[in-house]
Amino acid sequence: MTSKLSALNEWVDQVSAQCRASRVHWCDGSEAETQRLIEQMLETGDLLKLNEQTHPDCYLHRSDPKDVARVEHLTFVCTSNKDDAGPNNNWMDPAEAHALMNGLFSGCMEGRTLYVVPYCMGPIDSPLSRCGVELTDSPYVVANMRLMTRMGQAALDRVEREGTFVKGLHSTGELDPERRYIMHFPEELSIQSFGSGYGGNALLGKKCHALRIASYQARSEGWLAEHMLIVGIENPAGEVRYVAAAFPSACGKTNLAMLIPPEAYREQGWKVWTVGDDICWLHPGEDGRLYAINPEAGFFGVAPGTSDKTNPNALAMLDREAIFTNVATTEDNQPWWEGLDDRVPATDWQGRDFDPKNGPAAHPNSRFTVSIQRCPSYSDQAESKAGVPIDAIVFGGRRASLAPLVLEARDWQHGVLVGGAMASETTAAATGQVGVVRRDPMAMKPFCGYHFGDYWGHWLALGEKLTHPPKIFQVNWFRRDADGGFIWPGFGDNLRVLEWILARCRGEVEASETPVGLLPADGDINLDGLAEQPDMNTLLAFDQAGWREEVQAIDAFLQEFEPRVPQALKDELARVKSALS
């Protein structure tokens, strides 16, 4: 097979010759194709079959033990002008990066098949969607891309109609961490990834395209590509309001996207609808509101901690047609991870007999891949061409202290400061130390494809175009008490906070003003039905001295992005500072 688009054919021919691929396979995305790939991976050991009775059509992939997370230090944004990538990215000169990658790709697919994977990010017929083609030598990547994107013939048809697409080239190479690079060329709308088979490094539609390249594209086209879940909240009157929420990796976006309301809420008729759990493309609509689509079609969720208590919806979709990566297995070959239940696993994520001395049985960043359509709370608006209208944008972080349970920004400009100043403790989703507080503006630190100063400027400019902008909030589910325990119950009970947020959006409740934003008044977060009353005084305290230190830290952080920090953002910080003094 070839394509009607000569630019695509020429690129495939050129890559296939350069990599000396033994075969080229154009993916049509069909069921039969997936079955053939799975058979082949079962033969090579790339996939292992899990218990067919309990988990029909579920497979386990064990990655190389040194290839288990995104590698931010090996991820580059290659713009012709270094300053355009900003201090928030590693930068390499495009010519140098191409020379390096050409060397790595040269001959790397000898004896391997080159798969041509056309995909569409977003509903296949939505004008807000964008297409790409990934060339990869990994059948595991193909199988994941089929779950994570609209992949195959329909995407190819759209690529051919439009004539433009993001070019992604990927090879697992030898999985040598010394020969591993994830390169982005935003000016060329292209991505080159070598030496890793891990999700965020290798499924190029996800972080590389839908965030880094798309954020760059979105800036010139007047929209936003964000690291946000999208969730619909239906109240007892049957009205559904949509919230987009940004959290750093492994801070519970998947859980929030498909939360089950507390019993008292369920009885009243509250429901939650999942549109997306990780990435959100926000476009201004003609009515002056912001509309969101989820560019993805599946979940690549963190397994550890997922249980029928924390996320029953996720668990319900993980017993069929799922790919598990780096989880442990039980004696009867069911997938298992820490926090799932109290069974003792037989085999750890590296295939060894489980021995607690070797650390956790499942890798802390082990994942499941599953189609969003399997989600019990899948929204009937997830395929909407126009997207869903967003009432509230929520920024969240993992902070043991200071940041209150919820805080409302005064207006869009203040909201951009709140998002830009976000900080969170690091998690296992990326290699490096876990638990260190780092600034993670809009949860985009690892994902923004250009200079943060320009990015904040773009947020501010976009806000000016919206006659009905969403309100912006900050949340923190992770406050700890003196013994280190979490104060807020989290999970389904986070709906209590979302209820307040939506009530604020409709102007139904008052809030109390502080220099750093608006806090719920006493008693305005509904705690009915909670077995234990959390310490709301701590959760909603305004710590003036703590915030004074915080604004100094924010100021120092913003300075790192000079001279490109928008004046309006500095003015906003100055306003907060003076209100605090």
Report if residue 300 touches ligand OXD, rule: CB under 6 A.
Answer: yes
* DSSP structural state of residue 379: -
3-class DSSP state of 276: strand
* Phi–psi pair at 573, nearest 5 degrees: -65, -40
539 binds, among ligand OXD, Mn ion, none (CB under 5 to 8 A by kind): none
- C-alpha 355: how far from chain center: 32
Residue showing the smallest CB distance to ligand OXD in the complex: 249
**Residue 134 or 278 having the CB closest to ligand OXD:** 278
Closest distance to ligand OXD from the beta carbon of 278 (Å):
5
476 binds, among ligand OXD, Mn ion, none (CB under 5 to 8 A by kind): none
Closest distance to ligand OXD from the beta carbon of 515 (Å):
32
**Residue 108 or 143 having the CB closest to ligand OXD:** 143
| Distance of alpha carbon 295 from alpha carbon 339, whole angstroms | 30
Output the CA angle 500-504-508, nearest 5 degrees.
Answer: 100
* Phi–psi pair at 503, nearest 5 degrees: -65, -40
Return the residues of window 134-193 that contact ligand OXD according to CB under 6 A: none
Spatial CA neighbour of 295 closest among 459, 447, 466: 447
| Distance of alpha carbon 329 from alpha carbon 480, whole angstroms | 32
**Residue 278 or 454 having the CB closest to ligand OXD:** 278
Report if residue 226 touches ligand OXD, rule: CB under 6 A.
Answer: no
Report if residue 278 touches ligand OXD, rule: CB under 6 A.
Answer: yes
Q: Which two tokens stand for residue 404?
A: 């209150």
The residue length of the chain stands at 581
Which string of DSSP letters, residue by residue, matches 67-113?
--SB-GGGEEE--SSHHHH-TTSEE--HHHHHHHHHHHHTTTTTTSE
How do strand 23-26 and strand 75-77 relate by DSSP bridges? unpaired
67 binds, among Mn ion, ligand OXD, none (CB under 5 to 8 A by kind): none
Question: With CB under 5 A as the contact rule, which of the stretches 187-195, 247-255, 464-472, 528-536 interacts with Mn ion?
Answer: 247-255
Give Dmax (Cα) for the chain: 68
List C-alpha distances in Å: 241 to 230, 399, 436, 500, 501: 10, 27, 35, 13, 11
Return the residues of window 20-79 that contact ligand OXD according to CB under 6 A: 70
Closest distance to ligand OXD from the beta carbon of 526 (Å):
31
335 binds, among ligand OXD, Mn ion, none (CB under 5 to 8 A by kind): none
**Residue 302 or 382 having the CB closest to ligand OXD:** 302
Count the residues of the shown chain that bind ligand OXD, applying the rule CB under 6 A: 7
348 binds, among Mn ion, ligand OXD, none (CB under 5 to 8 A by kind): none
Report if residue 205 touches ligand OXD, rule: CB under 6 A.
Answer: no
* DSSP structural state of residue 354: P
User: Under the phi-then-psi rule, with left for phi > 0, alpha for psi from -120 to 50, and beta for the rest, what region is 169?
Assistant: beta
572 binds, among Mn ion, ligand OXD, none (CB under 5 to 8 A by kind): none
Residues in Cβ contact with 224 at an 8 Å cutoff, skipping those fewer than 6 apart: 215, 218, 281, 282, 283, 458, 459, 462
Question: With CB under 5 A as the contact rule, which of the stretches 43-51, 272-280, 417-425, 456-464 interacts with Mn ion?
Answer: 272-280
| Distance of alpha carbon 184 from alpha carbon 214, whole angstroms | 11
Closest distance to Mn ion from the beta carbon of 423 (Å):
17
Q: What residues are annotated to the active site?
A: 251
Report if residue 429 touches ligand OXD, rule: CB under 6 A.
Answer: yes
Q: Tell me the residue type at 382.
A: A
| Distance of alpha carbon 63 from alpha carbon 46, whole angstroms | 8
Which of 79, 190, 192, 249 is in the footprint of ligand OXD by CB under 6 A? 249
Residue showing the smallest CB distance to Mn ion in the complex: 278
- Per-residue contact flags (x/-) with ligand OXD for residues 379 to 418, judged by CB under 6 A: ----------------------------------------
300 binds, among Mn ion, ligand OXD, none (CB under 5 to 8 A by kind): ligand OXD
Report if residue 324 touches ligand OXD, rule: CB under 6 A.
Answer: no
Which of 123, 168, 200, 566 is in the footprint of ligand OXD by CB under 6 A? 200
70 binds, among ligand OXD, Mn ion, none (CB under 5 to 8 A by kind): ligand OXD
**Residue 197 or 520 having the CB closest to Mn ion:** 197
SS3 letters for 425-443? Answer: ECCCCECCCCCCEEECHHH
- C-alpha 106: how far from chain center: 32
Closest distance to ligand OXD from the beta carbon of 429 (Å):
4
Q: Which two tokens stand for residue 64?
A: 């190389």
Report if residue 278 touches Mn ion, rule: CB under 5 A.
Answer: yes
Residues of this chain that bind Mn ion (CB under 5 A)? 249, 278
Catalog residues that contact ligand OXD under the rule CB under 6 A: 70, 199-200, 249, 278, 300, 429
